[in-house]
Amino acid sequence: MPTSPTPSTASAAADASGGFGAVVRHPLFWPVVALVALLAVNTAVRPGFLSVSILDDHLFGSPIDILRNCAPLMLVALGMSLVIATRGIDLSVGAVVAISGAVALTFIAGAPDPASTTTVFLAIGMALVLGLVLGVWNGFLVSVLGIQPIIATLILMTAGRGVAMLITEGQITTVTSAPFKTLGAGYWLGLPVATLVAFGVFGLVALLVRRTALGMLVESVGINPAASRLAGVRARTIVWTVFALSGLFSGLAGLILSSNVMAADANNAGLFIELDAILAVVIGGTSLAGGKFSLSGTFVGVLIIATLSLTVTNVGISPLVTPLFKALVVAAVTLLQSPAMRRKLAERTRRRGRTAPVPPSDKPADVSTDKVVA
């Protein structure tokens, strides 16, 4: 896996230089610190927070809740990472989530036997294909017609909930179907099925991206589309593919969300999930300018956001100020990641260490060398 800051290569680099400094400089250091700090706060408030017990043959506890609740966001953020890496953005993911849930539940509700496995698989298949088609539509607008991604996906973001509304005929569709409920609320081997599905897909895609050349080509297109085209990279196909994948993963996220509550709410399913997904990608260290991306970063980002939501209720913060609390934590994480802030921190620690004879040359000096010597 030569292409990018995957955890294995990066941690190997940290081991090589051996020092604590290398660990601190690792792009995932501060996000992980934030996650651990959040968990610590929760444990301080409720000492049993991290404990996991077995109840009714499956694992039970706050950590399991986090893992289950983050599943839809995990899938959406996965697609979003790839889209952002190609310099794009996908605002329509929330709408796709709503459409996917609406299609599946309306089909199940209208079927003669809602509880039959065949019905459920057909419903899932339909929703996934529709998600893929919507992603392909976005990709067509961006890669073939050359519309700016933010505008192209805004179309579906706005229209999508209307489409979901049409499908559910303005009602909140509810069904009773045991097999379908398994996807969002069921357990397998003691773990939530939603988590297994989301993490499985995430792992598979992460592997696919780094074991094949897809990751490098996506980054190449994101960094310099013109140069990539001249190097023979099929930029259009790659951009189209990532939008299609984003649609597909959003469709799956919609299924998990609707199965968890067994209802399709065209107005509120997946509301603002696009913003949480973008946030998770950014917290994970992928630049919105495109190019280098880190799926492991996105993974940690999603966990942070899911933990944050649970922290709010656990710590007993008033729901009225929840957005403010969320924003403060996010601001702290992004600040710690900003290069300017890191440089300041590094300077402070160095000044404190002045008493000992420390070689003056360090990272910032190297950077300026590159700039100045032409």
Contact mark string toward other proteins, 275..314, x via CB under 8 A:
----------------xx----------------------
161 binding other proteins? (CB under 8 A): no
| Pick 230 or 356: Cβ nearer other proteins | 230
Which is nearer to other proteins, 46 or 211 (by Cβ)? Answer: 211
Q: HSE of 34 in the Cβ direction (CA atoms, 13 Å)?
A: 29
CB-based contact 100:283 (threshold 8 Å): no
Q: What 3-state DSSP class applies to 264?
A: strand
Give the count of alpha carbons within 13 A of 217, CB side only: 19
Q: Are 152 and 160 in contact (CB under 8 A)?
A: no
The nearer residue to other proteins, 145 or 373, going by C-beta atoms, is: 373
Q: State phi, psi for 118 to the nearest 5 degrees.
A: -60, -45
Residues 90, 219, 274, 276: which binds other proteins (CB under 8 A)?
219
Q: Name the DSSP class of 143.
A: I
Contact flag: residue 319 with other proteins (CB under 8 A):
no
Nearest alpha carbon to residue 160 among 266, 63, 54, 240: 266
216 binds other proteins (CB under 8 A): yes
Report in angstroms the alpha-carbon separations of 351 from 226, 338, 346, 355: 44, 20, 9, 8
Say which DSSP state 140 is in. Answer: I
* Footprint of other proteins on 326-365 (CB under 8 A): 359-361, 365
Considering only 46, 211, 343, 350, the residue that binds other proteins (CB under 8 A) is 211
User: Applying CB under 8 A, does 223 fall inside the site for other proteins?
Assistant: yes
Q: Are 61 and 46 in contact (CB under 8 A)?
A: no
- Min CB(365)–other proteins separation in Å: 5
Q: How far is the CB of 290 from other proteins (least distance, A)?
A: 9
> How many of the chain's residues bind other proteins (CB under 8 A)?
35
Please pick, from the candidates 224, 314, 322, 334, the single residue that binds other proteins as defined by CB under 8 A.
224
Q: Which of 47, 112, 146, 232 binds other proteins (CB under 8 A)?
A: 232
Query: Which listed range, 123-131, 229-237, 301-309, 346-354, lies at the site for other proteins (CB under 8 A)?
Result: 229-237
Residue 129 near residue 64, CB atoms below 8 Å: no
Residue 25 interacting with other proteins (CB under 8 A): no
